[in-house]
Amino acid sequence: MSLSRLQINRVRNLGQVQLQDLQQVNVFHGCNGSGKTSVLEAIHLLGMARSFRGSSAKSLISHGKSDCVVYGLVNAPGYPAPVPLGIQRSIDGDIQIKVSGTALRSVAQLVEHLPLQVINADSFDLLTGSPGARRRYLDWGVFHVEHRFLEQWQRFQRCIKQRNKLLRHDKIRDAELAVWTRDLATTGAALGEYRKAYFELLLPRFKEIVSRLAPSLSNLELRYQQGWDRQLDYRDALAASAASDIEQGYTHVGPQRADIKVMIDGRLAAETLSRGQQKLVVCSLKLAQGQLMTEQGKARCVYLVDDLPSELDAPHCRKVCELLASMVGAQVFITCIERRDIEELWPQAGRDQMAMFHVEQGIVQKGVLEPRVAPTAGTSQH
C-alpha cells in the first residue's frame, strides 16, 4: 500500500495541508514545534482512527475547532484504482470513517487498508513495556496475514469476558461455566495457533535483520510464550487451573497472557541493553514485520518514522535507512530537523523516489530535490 495523496484539516497546528504526488520516501524537515510529528500523527489517524502518542482525540483537534478530518488516496495491490479513505473525529467523541465513499462501522475494516508501522521515541515500549505491547505487535502481524484471525480474536474477547464475569459471581452455575470454558478453549487454542504460526515465520526475518543492523546483537533470542503450559492443550490447561480460577475469580491461563520474551545471553534484553541497542531491536522487530508482509505479497507497510536519530548514532541510522529503502514497495514518512539529516543517510539509489517537505508553523511546502554533488577529486581535506 502507499499513499499518493493526503489532505489534513485541523490536526494540531496543521490548519489545512494538501500533499500531492507522495513518493516512496517522504521527508518532513523543520524546526521543533513546526508540525512534523503532527503530519505523521494525521496519517496514523487515517489508518488507525487514533493518535500514536496515546493522546485523546480531543488533543489532536486544533485548539478552538470542533473536529479534524484526514483524507487519503491509497494505492493497493489488487485494486484497479486508488482507494479513498477518510476519517473525521469530533470533539464530542464522534468518529466517521469512510472507505471508497462507504461509511464503516469498525476500525478493523479501516486498518486493513493502510498497514502502519511506527518507529518513534515511544517504540521502546515494545521491549521495555508490558506484555500487552508485545501482544499488540504480534496481533498486528497476524491480523494482516490471516483474515480469520480477527473473528477468533473477537470471539475470544467475548468468551473470556463472560467467563470472568461468571467467575466473579458468588454462586457459580457449573453448567454455564462449562459452556464458556468449552468455547474459550476452542477459540483460545485457535488464537494461539495463529500467533505461533506467524511468530515462526517472523523469527528468521527478525534474525536476519538484526544481524545486518547490529551484528553484536545476533545472539539475541526471541521466545514466544503462548500463555499456558507448552506441554498442555489449552483445554487441559484450563481444566488444570479451574480451581484457582474459581477461587480468585478470573481466568489465569490463555492467550491473554501471551508474550514474546526477548533475551540476550540468558538475560532479558530490556534489562541488559543500552537505549540505543534497544532501539535497534525495536527497529528490527518492526522491519521484520514489513519484510514478511512484502514477501507474502498481500499488502505493503507504510512506515512512520519520527526522529530516527534520537538514541542512534549516524552509522546505525544509515543502516535503518538502508533497510527501509530495500523493502520493496514499503512507503516511508520520516521526520528530521535539517533536510540533509536524512538526505545524507538515505542510499543514493532510492533518491529518485524521494520527496522533501519543509514544515514551518503548520505550513507544509514541497521542496525541490537537488542532485547530490559527488565530491570532486582533490577537494577532500587531509
Ligand X SMILES: Nc1ncnc2c1ncn2[C@@H]1O[C@H](COP(=O)(O)OP(=O)(O)O)[C@@H](O)[C@H]1O
Segment lying near Mg ion (by CB under 5 A), choices 29-37, 170-178, 211-219, 265-273: 29-37
Out of ligand X, Mg ion, none, which partner does residue 230 contact, by CB within 5 to 8 A per kind?
none
Output the nine-digit C-alpha cell for 212.
Answer: 545486518
Cβ partners under 8 Å of residue 35, min gap 6: 12, 13, 14, 359, 360, 361, 362, 363, 364
Bin 272: left if φ > 0, else alpha if -120 < ψ < 50, else beta.
alpha
Out of Mg ion, ligand X, none, which partner does residue 33 contact, by CB within 5 to 8 A per kind?
ligand X
Helix (H) or strand (E) holding 205: helix 174-213
6, 17, 30, 180: residue in contact with ligand X (rule CB under 6 A): 30
Segment lying near ligand X (by CB under 6 A), choices 28-36, 187-195, 230-238, 339-347: 28-36
274: three-class secondary structure by DSSP = coil
C-beta closer to ligand X: residue 52 or 234: 52
C-beta closer to Mg ion: residue 41 or 245: 41
Segment lying near ligand X (by CB under 6 A), choices 27-35, 136-144, 233-241, 246-254: 27-35
The residues that bridge with 366 in the sheet, in sequence order, are: 357
Measured at the CA of 73, the angle between CA 71 and CA 79, to 5 degrees, comes to 140
Neighbours of 219 (CB within 10 A): 11
Q: Does 310 bind ligand X (CB under 6 A)?
A: no
CB of 124 to Mg ion, least distance (A): 16
CB of 168 to ligand X, least distance (A): 40
Q: Does 37 bind Mg ion (CB under 5 A)?
A: yes
Over the window 35 to 54, marking each residue x when it contacts ligand X by CB under 6 A and - when it does not, the resulting string is xxxx----------------
Whether 284 and 206 have beta carbons less than 8 Å apart is answered as: yes
CB of 56 to ligand X, least distance (A): 10
DSSP code per residue over 21-50: S--SEEEEE-STTSSHHHHHHHHHHHHHSS
4, 7, 48, 62: residue in contact with ligand X (rule CB under 6 A): 62
CB of 15 to Mg ion, least distance (A): 18
Sign of the dihedral through C-alpha 117, 345, 220, 310: negative
Torsion of CA 138, 141, 146, 152, to 10 degrees: 40
The residues that bridge with 96 in the sheet, in sequence order, are: 88
The residues that bridge with 259 in the sheet, in sequence order, are: 225
Segment lying near ligand X (by CB under 6 A), choices 31-39, 109-117, 189-197, 315-323: 31-39
C-beta closer to ligand X: residue 32 or 231: 32
The contact set with ligand X (CB under 6 A) reads 12-13, 30, 32-38, 59, 61-63, 359
The contact set with Mg ion (CB under 5 A) reads 37
